[in-house]
Amino acid sequence: MSKESTSRTRVGKYEVGRVLGEGTFAKVRLAKNLETGQQVAIKVFDKHKILKDQLTQQIKREISTMKLIKHPNVVQLYEILASKTKVYIVLEYVTGGELFNKIAYKGRLKEDEARKYVQQLINAVDYCHSRGVYHRDLKPENLLVDGNGNLKISDFGLSALPQHLREDGLLHTTCGTPNYVAPEVIVHKGYDGAKADVWSCGIILFVLLGGYLPFDDSNLLSLYKKIHKAELRFPLCFSSGARKLISMMLNPDPQLRITIPEILEDSWFKANYRPPKFAEIMDIDVEDVAAVFSGSLDCLVTEDEQRPGRPAFFNAFKLISLSKGLNLSGLFEKKEDKQHELHFTSTHPAPEIISKIEEVAKPLGFNVWRQNYKMRLHGLKAGRKGHLSIASEIFEVAPSLFVVELRKAAGDTLEYHNFYENFTKGIKDIVWKREEEAEL
């Protein structure tokens, strides 16, 4: 058996690769279906942590919800696997990243582009509601874009199902992201999940067209007051049709707020509208959800074998998934391609790379923790979403060639982009370049 093969993890028919994202309770990894060659994303939960933090019901709800929703504008759940220690949710891999990043780079979208995304969003949300599912955390960070420019709703961790309604027919759990939460959700008197989702969609439409939030304040109480007043100030670039629709979606009185059937008939919304065509699956089996947590679901898992004293191998599958061509210097991503990850190659020894990362990170305001060839850069000052945290690991491609991966583990995305700009300037001396690039 080769060294490369011993560094792989196999979960059933999937070969698991690099980390795509990391949250409080789970990691999302890129994987490959060895039978079909299809790339997928696998969300990995630790069973012990799930039980310790009493998250079983929440994760069961997320899985059940995603199994109910089979729509072209919703990230698809393919299957659920489990080992004795982990739960694996196999999902559609969406290559284009978050819709948030489009706004971060462009500032705002052109009206036709924003309308297309909102048309797809409303259609998908309407379908979710028809299945009794209310998302409750709609925001650009939870909206992905595929390679064809189509929107995909993700992250149903805060979603609600009909069984979560109380006797009054309303939901009562206050949840979601403050800037996108409807005013009636905040007051703890019960709310209609469909109407609350419409409000969030209205905020998203404003952000897409304007490039900023309609209601924002660093003080949470002040923010909630602005949300309750819902006093909208539109930029001059908004068309009259867009202003009218947003005003109706952001009506602070849920009884007077526009409904999705009414949105579908709105003249601004209907321009060039093409509803998706798909075959709805009526019979959905959710019995295997309980089996995942009972331990009765059988799954073959091969754990990673560590290589003491040396960086892990960056195997061929990981390499191909990152490289734009055969030239490894392409791993140093262009500015317009950066998302939440940075990869670069270096011919310098691994200890020297670690020292350079520490040297560059500390003046930028980060503490550095090391464990073998893994590092964690932790911002000293709290930002908009807490402390920015960057996870890093060095992988060996060949005896004298290394790939370094950095990814945002926590904190604000815009603050991560600023970190990216300063960090790449500081490490340029250890980044491997082709001879023709070095001569420039």
The binding site comprises 43
Quick one: how far is CA 146 from the chain centroid? 13
Quick one: how far is CA 238 from the chain centroid? 28
89 has which bridge partners?
43, 80
- 201 phi/psi in degrees, rounded to 5: -65, -35
User: Cβ–Cβ contacts within 10 Å for residue 117, how many?
Assistant: 22
Which of 53, 126, 137, 412 does the annotation list as catalytic? 137
Binding residues for ATP: 43
Could you give the CA distance from residue 207 to residue 412 in angstroms, rounded to a whole number? 17
Residue type, 222: S
Could you give the CA distance from residue 317 to residue 298 in angstroms, rounded to a whole number? 26
Burial of 308 (0-12, 13-18, 19+ CB in 10 A): exposed
How big, in percent rounded to 5, are the helix, strand and coil portions of the chain? 40, 25, 40
Quick one: how far is CA 66 from the chain centroid? 15
Closest alpha carbon to 79 in 41, 127, 46: 41
User: Cβ–Cβ contacts within 10 Å for residue 67, how many?
Assistant: 18
Is 120 in a helix, a strand, or coil?
helix
Residue type, 43: K
Sheet containing 86-92: give its strands across. Answer: 77-82, 86-92, 39-46, 26-33, 14-22, 9-11, 301-302
Q: What single string gives the DSSP state of each residue in 330-383?
A: GGB--GGG-SSEEEEEE-S-HHHHHHHHHHHHGGGTEEEEEETTEEEEEEEEEE
User: Cβ–Cβ contacts within 10 Å for residue 115, how many?
Assistant: 24
User: Residue for token digits 């009206």?
Assistant: 111
Whether 283 is catalytic: no
Closest alpha carbon to 390 in 1, 19, 6: 19
Residues with a catalytic annotation lie at 137
